[in-house]
Structure 1
Amino acid sequence: MNTSSPNSTIRLYHVSLSPFCRKVRLVLAEKRIEVELVEDRYWEPDSELTRRNPAGKLPVLRMDGRLLAESQAICEYLDETHPQPPLMPAQSIDRYEVRRLCAWFDDKFNAEVTKPVMNERVWKKVMRQGYPDSRTVKAGLSAIRRHMDYMRSLLEHRRWLAGDTMTLADFTAAAHLSCLDYISDVDWTHSIEVQEWYAKIKSRPAFRSLLADHLPGVHPAPHYALLDF
């Protein structure tokens, strides 16, 4: 997917409370790549999302004369083309672990927690699709505890989720949890280890733009932008 002006401004088409968009935003910010954020309200009839990405998915990154899609592919492209600071380890087995955990959160965590909870509590309201299904929300909030238990089991033996250095796995997990934290749906008292990990990553400069997000009609939790929560 090529564009006509390779030297144009780097632009990210996104929606603020998408974990996949947030994941890419974190990588761009961590690598200090200046980017113009363009919100794409993909549910509205004038959206050009399918023209930019035939798969109809956000985010889409306009960079290097191309339109790049799929968050994991975008993040690894950014890590390869802008290697400092590195977010993928040098060793193959360590890169495997990062990719495994990225898939865990983008697939399993998203299916069991992020997607159902956000759809019911946020997107139904924004898109005017009716009232939330309390059973779906309850199931998602129950599932998040199991995932936090798994994260705690990792953090008991590691400084970060995939090892002793921060990687794309941490940004992927934090992107999902930050969406849920925006609507106050994370019980941080369930795991002090996970809370301390999130506080550590939340305090990074790369997280600042996420903490400034405000979705019209959906107000963030009072503690959302606080580093001491």
Structure 2
Amino acid sequence: MNRLYHVPLSPFCRKVRLVLGEKRIEVELVEERYWERAPDFLRRNPAAKVPVLRMDGRTMAESHAICEYIEEVHPDPRLMPASAGERYEVRRLTGWFDDKFHSEVTSKLLYERVNKKVSGQGYPDSRNVKAGAQAIKYHLDYMGWLLDQRRWLAGDTMTLADFTAAAHLSSLDYISDVDWNRNANVKDWYAKIKSRPAFRSILADQVPGFPPPAHYANLDF
């Protein structure tokens, strides 16, 4: 059985889960309290980060490398386009969300509101929370601009870029930090991707002490 060591609200873990789900690859989910730096976990990944995927006799870390491995070994359905230019755009947007969006938004909202409490690191820094709440507006507007020109974020087909963005936004939606009324294009895009079977296990996530809002698992939100 394939095994994924993960944290439920980690966008990097969710990205891998979405790719596995879209390709209908069964996986056992093992929740890993990575901040405790357990010796067994450090042997699997000395960087002490999740996700870690055990698959095909390999133990793999780093979400983007994992996703590209899955794409190459299980190419159907395709999540990376055929042409080099289209693949570049997918990788550019994947980097945008995992780097810029994560730094400016996810780390300042999700990590401050949830991760600090769960890992016993204290209380949220209100300055970071305010900065994240302001920054997400810019990112939603940018997504809206992209979707005004394309069916999906990177082009006319759904790709890894969409799952990467959805992984971050779904984590933030769990704590009601996404204003879905800001841009109709973004809301429609999220409704489409949220309704895919790959999303089912994510919408069923529950984090003790942090109940999701009523709309979180509602496909018609």
How high is the TM-score relative to the length of structure 2?
A: 0.98
Query: Offset of 1:216 from its aligned partner?
Result: 1.1
- Which one-letter code corresponds to 2:168 in the other structure? H
Distance 2:121 2:64 in 1: 30
Counterpart in the other structure of 1:73: 65
AA aligned to 2:87 is R
Q: For 1:48, give the aligned amino acid.
A: D
Does 2:134 align with 1:124? Answer: no
Aligned length: 221
Which AA in structure 2 matches 1:204? R
- Check if 1:13 corresponds to 2:2: no
Q: State the shift of 1:128 in Å.
A: 2.4
Aligned-residue Cα RMSD (Å) equals 1.0
| Equivalent runs, 1:46-61 vs 2, <5 Å | 46=38, 48-61=40-53
Give ranges in structure 2 of 5+ residues lacking alignment.
none
Relative distance call for 1:47 and 1:139 in structure 2 (3 A) is farther
* Counterpart residue number, 2:23: 31
Structure 1 position 45, deviation (Å): 5.3
Residue segments in structure 1 that go unaligned for 5+ positions in a row: 1-8
**Could you tell me how far apart the structure 2 residues matched to 1:178 and 1:158 are?**
21
Distance 2:194 2:201 in 1: 11
Deviates more, 1:56-65 or 1:130-139: 130-139
Q: Deviations over 1:44-91 (max 9, x none)?
A: 354633211112211000011110111011101101100110000000
8 Å Cα contact 2:174-2:212 kept in structure 1 = yes
Which residue is equivalent to 1:6?
Answer: none
- Could you say what secondary structure the match of 1:12 adopts? strand
For 1:186-205, what aligned pairs fall within 5 Å after superposition? Answer: 186-205=178-197
How far residue 211 of structure 1 moved from its aligned partner, in angstroms, is: 0.1
User: Which SS does the other structure have where 1:116 is aligned?
Assistant: helix
C-alpha contact (below 8 Å) 2:52/2:60 kept by paired residues = yes
Say if 1:30 and 1:206, in contact at 8 Å, map to a contact too: yes
Match of 2:209, SS state, is coil
1:84 pairs with 2:76? yes
Name the counterpart of 1:106: 98
Q: Quick one: percent identity of the two aligned structures? A: 71
Instruction: Please list the CA deviations of residues 141-171 of structure 1 after superposition, one character each: whole Å capped at 9, or x if unmatched.
Output: 1100000111011000100000000000000
Distance 2:37 2:17 in 1: 25
Instruction: Specify the code of the residue in structure 1 equivalent to 2:137.
Output: R
Q: 2:134 aligns with which of 142, 145, 156?
A: 142
Q: Using the alignment, how far apart are the partners of 1:47 and 1:58 within structure 2? A: 14
Q: Secondary structure at the match of 1:188?
A: coil
Distance 1:160 1:45 in 2: 38
The equivalent residue for 1:209 is 201
What is the distance in 1 between the residues matched to 2:148 and 2:39? 45
Q: Secondary structure at the match of 1:37?
A: strand
Deviation string, structure 1 residues 1-42 (Cα, Å, up to 9, x no partner): xxxxxxxx1100000000000000000000000100000011
Aligned to 1:3: none
TM-score of the superposed pair, with normalisation by structure 1: 0.94
